[in-house]
Amino acid sequence: MGFAVKPKDLIDALCRNGFVIVRIKGSHYKVRKGDKAVTIPFHNKELKTGTLQAILKSLGITKEELVKMLKDEN
């Protein structure tokens, strides 16, 4: 994948693009949009590559779409 994303930045980008935080339990946020949902670990470190790839796969988002979401700060 080759780039680093902090959980806060990922959650903010997803929320700007129609995802909703449906639950916070400890240090994990669950976001949902329609029938797609995923739990994101929330801490101050960047997400590991495998974790980020799994999140994107679960949500049906490509790396390119994520980069666009992160740059788009409505």
Tens digit of each residue's pLDDT (9 = 90 or more) over 43-53: 999 999 999 99
- When pLDDT is cut at 50, 70 and 90, the band that residue 72 belongs to is confident
Parallel, antiparallel or unpaired: strands 28-33 and 20-25: antiparallel
* pLDDT given for residue 63 in this prediction: 93
Rounded Cα gap, residues 13 and 23, in angstroms: 17
* pLDDT given for residue 52 in this prediction: 95
Q: Is it the case that residue 3 has pLDDT exceeding 90?
A: no
* pLDDT given for residue 30 in this prediction: 98
Inter-residue contact 52 to 1 (CB < 8 Å): yes
Q: Which helix (H) or strand (E) holds 38?
A: strand 36-41
Alpha helices, DSSP H, located in the chain: 7-16, 49-59, 63-71
Domains in the chain, start-ordered, CATH in brackets?
7-71 (3.30.920.30)
- When pLDDT is cut at 50, 70 and 90, the band that residue 74 belongs to is low
Residue range 33-41: average pLDDT? 96
Q: What is the mean pLDDT of the chain?
A: 93
